[in-house]
Structure 1
Amino acid sequence: MIGNEVNEGKSVDVDVEKVTTATVAFENTYELTTYDVKVDKVDKENDEKIAGAELKVINQANEEIAHWITDGKNSYNLKLVPGTYTLIEVNAPKGYEIAKPITFVVGKDGKVVDYQNNKIIMKDKAKPGKLVIAKIVKGNISKEQAEKSIKFEVIDKDTQDKKVYSLNDFEYDENSGKWMLELTKVAGKYTVKELTDDVQGYKLTHIVSIIDGKEKGDVAANLNVEKDETTTIEYTNNYEENKIETKENKSDQTPKQESKKAKTGDDTQILENLMLLISSLGGILFGLRFYRRKNEF
């Protein structure tokens, strides 16, 4: 500025006249240097980027610096001057819990303190899913017999962790006659298998498994448990009492056959004894005759 005249630039030409004063004033505007800071939103278990998270960044004055929704593909790039900031998750994606806020500092050298490559990584913990096993038993088998014999095995396909549950671990509804077991599981793939076949005194004649309304026929089933969702498998078994021939039934038939044989055997024995007696009498008579003749001579 020369007098009242405004000029822009780093230099100006000034005419200084005799016995006068020429005034030159420079007014400069400075802006703080901004630095790149990247933000990633990932799954806590596998570190994969996730979409649908609503995030914002505020400064120490609680002023909003940025606000966005993650796309699950790219890091979000911020332009920040040195200072203290807070990364906040406003809304978490479906199936995830809201993460705690992260406070970070951008130094005068442009580096984010305690973070490598000027990248802030916020991790979301997935909400667990639920695996429900339902059991219905048909036939004359009692509740006590079922709970004593019937078991299920649940296998986590990722970790190969195996757990066995008996019907005693289930909740039983007297009205519906149904056993229910609800398990909280990390989202993933599982195998559910019924371990019991026949129950003592009863034979398993039919089995049906239904997964989320779709009928299957196997005792083992592969299931997907989703984040914050419920997956249900229902088994229905039909048992029939084993028909075993009793001793009383056997005794009714056996004596008749044996008595028949005994009668035949007795007739033969009597005939043999009679022949033996006749033979013996003949021998005796012959002996007597021989004795008499001998005495006569």
Structure 2
Amino acid sequence: MHAEFPGAFAAIASVRRIGVTRESPGWAFVSAIGASFFASAVIQLLAFIVYPLLFPPTHEQVIYVSPRVIWEGAGAMGAGAVAVRAGGFSAALLYVAFQIALLAAQIPARTFACARVAAFNAGACDWSVFLGQRWTLWFALALGIAASRWLAPREREENTVLRAAGAYGLVFAAFASVGSMLLFLAVLPNTPINSSGPFPIVTPTEVPLYATALGEIIGAVLAGVLLARRSLAPALLIALLLIGPSFANGVPLWRAQSNAMAFPLPMWVGMFAWLWSPLIAVLALFIAWALARKRNLLLAPM
């Protein structure tokens, strides 16, 4: 086959492989989260363009694949490949533990819904469904680990950009999970509910919203500090991938809300979290990058 298609094999061989530097399992774990951030954000942006073409909403689909499964799978593949290539299987195990922790953080929400909401789908309350719902992520992670050899080893250069994106992703996920757990463990169980009707009406709360926004800002600050020794380009890339998926999700919803400005302020803040939260995070990223870079320049002559 190589003799029959020499041009194709030559083109494949000429493709420059992505380089990853070997590092400690801890940093490799952070870099793996960064790889997941890059892969999932890029695929998510592409999915908004390609997905309606592959699965037109006006046609009945024989097989339905959620777009979230696609970009989460891409992120898991990138994480698995970088984790093993940069830090070995120890880093991959850390990433698996991280995903299990995120899954465990969803248990309070599931328990609350199954116990309080009578009309909740009984099948979704089955533990086998809960534990097996992320099988696509584990499968994609295994594919990424198997493909880790495709990444080229790189010397004398740290995985700074991956670390920065990973620090953002780690803090963001941690704060989002804590916010969700606070809501379903502390806030809602102590909130009066109206049991009339098929769904109890709970008092709305913005605990997860503000926890997620705070995590987004703190993560962006850490990313900016880690990028202080790099040029503006990596920070700009992370900023674009940070706001891109959020805007792609939020703008269509905003256009559908013709009377959004008539809503009260708390509801308005929640509706437009896709706008103000990533913008503040991007601003924090650039401020942290500029201040840390200035500090490095001042300390350089010493």
Question: Given the two structures, how large is their TM-score scaled by the length of structure 1?
Answer: 0.18
* Larger CA Rg, structure 1 vs 2: 1
**Greater relative contact order (Cα 8 A, min sep 6): structure 1 or 2?**
2
Q: Which has the higher helix share?
A: 2
Q: Which has the higher strand share?
A: 1
